[in-house]
Chain A
C-alpha cells in the first residue's frame, strides 16, 4: 500500500496523463472522420510491419508451406461442399429452368493473422497481405470452417479485417433448409439474426449461410448453426441466436476470397461501400 502511495506521489502527473490520453484516444478511435481512418490505416500498417517482423523471428518454416497448401485445399473443399449442397437444394427449386450458369471461380489468397484487436465488441484482425496481392476492401475472408469477416481496408502489404464479431458487421444470411433470409449482426456478446418473421420455419440446428443477396458477399459461405430461437410473447418477430462455425478467437490463418461475382455490380457496391466509409 505504501509502495503504491509512493509510486502515485512520484508519478501522479504521468499516470494521470496516460489515463487521460488513453480516454482521448478511445474517443478518437470511435470517429469515422476520413483523417482518422487514414491515421488508423497508417498506424495499423506500421504496427503490422513490426508485428510481422517479430512473428517471423520465431522459426516455423519446416511445415509452413505444406500446412499452407493443406489449409488452402481444406478451404477449397469446404467451399465446394457448400456449393454442392446449395446446388442440391437449388436443383429442386429450379428444375424447370433451362440452365443455371455458374460464372463463379474461387481464387483464394492465403494470409496469416498477425495482429488481433482486444475489443470484444469490435474484433478486427490484421493480415500480412494487402493491395499488392490483389486484396481489396469488401472481399470475404474465410477459413476451412466458414466465413470470418470481410476486408475493411488494406495498405500495400497489410489488410484490416472486420470479423463477424464486430458491431458494424452486417451480412444478409439465409437458412439453408427453409431459405428464409435475415440480417446477421453481432450484438457485442451474441451473433444473432434479428427481426425474422414469426412465420419463418427456422429450426434449431439449421445451417446458416451467406445469402446471394448480400452486397459484399454474394456467395454462399457457411456461417454457423441455429443455437436458439428467441420467441418473444409480443411483436411479430423472432431473434435467432447463431453459433458460428469459426472460432474467431482462435483463427490464425485465413484465406481471402478474391472473388468478383459480377464486375459492374461489384464496382457499384464497392463504390457504395467506400463512400459509406468516407
Chain B
C-alpha cells in the first residue's frame, strides 16, 4: 500500500483533536461542522469509493472509541457518507473536482446523509417528525459543514501537501 493512502489516518488525529476541542466553541444552536467528514470525503474523491468506504469505517470507529459516542454510530454514518461521496470519484478528474464548487456540493450531500443518519441513531426520539429530521438535524449541520469546507478550500495552499 502506498504511504499516501495511510496519510489520512495520520491527519485524522489532529483533525479529531480540533473537532473535539476547538469546534465546540463555534457551535450555533448546538450545531457544529464535521471536519472529519470533510477529510473522509476529500480522500474518497482522491482514492475512490472502495477506499473511502473503508476509511470512513475506520475513522468513524476511532471517533466512536475516542469520543465516547454510541459505538458504531459514526462508523455507520461515515461509511455511508463515504459511499455517497464515492459516486463522484473519478480517476481522471479528481484534482479538478476537489478544486471546483462540485466538491462543496459533494460535501453538502454527504454531510446531509451523515447528519440525518447520525441523528436517527444517536438522537432518536419517537416524537421526531420528518421535517425536523431533515431541516434541523440534517440541512443545518450540512450547511455549516459545507461553509467550513468552502473556507478551507479558499484558504488552502496552492501546493498540495495532502
Report A's interface with B, CB cutoff 8 A. 12-13, 16-17, 20-21, 23-31, 33, 35-36, 38-39, 41-42
Contact = CB atoms under 8 A, between A and B. Distances in A.
10 contacts: A12-B50, A13-B83, A13-B86, A17-B79, A24-B75, A25-B76, A26-B72, A27-B75, A28-B121, A35-B122
A20 B79 contact: yes
B120 interface: yes
A166 B95 CA distance: 53
A17 B56 CA distance: 10
A36 B50 contact: no
Given A16-B50, A20-B53, A38 B79 contact: no
B91 interface: no
B70 interface: yes
B79 A35 contact: no
A42 B71 contact: no
A39 B79 CA distance: 20
B121 A39 contact: yes
A28 B71 CA distance: 6
Contacts of B50: 12-13, 16
B4 interface: no
Interface of B: 49-50, 53-54, 57, 60, 64, 70-73, 75-76, 79-80, 83, 86, 120-126
B70 to A, nearest CB: 5
A33 B69 CA distance: 9
Contacts of A39: 120-121, 124
Nearest to A28: B72
A202 B73 CA distance: 47
A38 B76 contact: no
A230 B125 CA distance: 47
Contacts of B125: 35, 38
A39 B122 CA distance: 9
Contacts of A17: 53, 79-80, 83
B76 A28 contact: yes
User: What's the dominant secondary structure at chain A's contact region?
Assistant: helix
B53 A16 contact: yes
Given A13-B53, A23-B72, 18 more contacts: A17-B80, A20-B54, A24-B73, A24-B75, A25-B76, A28-B70, A28-B71, A28-B121, A29-B72, A31-B70, A33-B70, A33-B122, A35-B122, A35-B123, A35-B125, A36-B121, A39-B120, A39-B124
A31 B72 contact: yes
Nearest to A41: B126
Nearest to B49: A13
Contacts of B57: 20, 23-24
Contacts of A38: 124-126
B124 A27 contact: no
A14 to B, nearest CB: 9
Nearest to A37: B124
Contacts of B122: 33, 35
B132 to A, nearest CB: 14
A42 B126 contact: yes
A25 B124 contact: no
Contacts of A27: 64, 71-72, 75
B125 to A, nearest CB: 6
Contacts of A31: 70-72
B75 to A, nearest CB: 4
Nearest to B119: A35
A23 B126 CA distance: 25
A28 B73 contact: yes
A12 B86 CA distance: 13
A178 B34 CA distance: 62
Given A17-B53, A30-B71, A31-B71, A24 B76 contact: yes
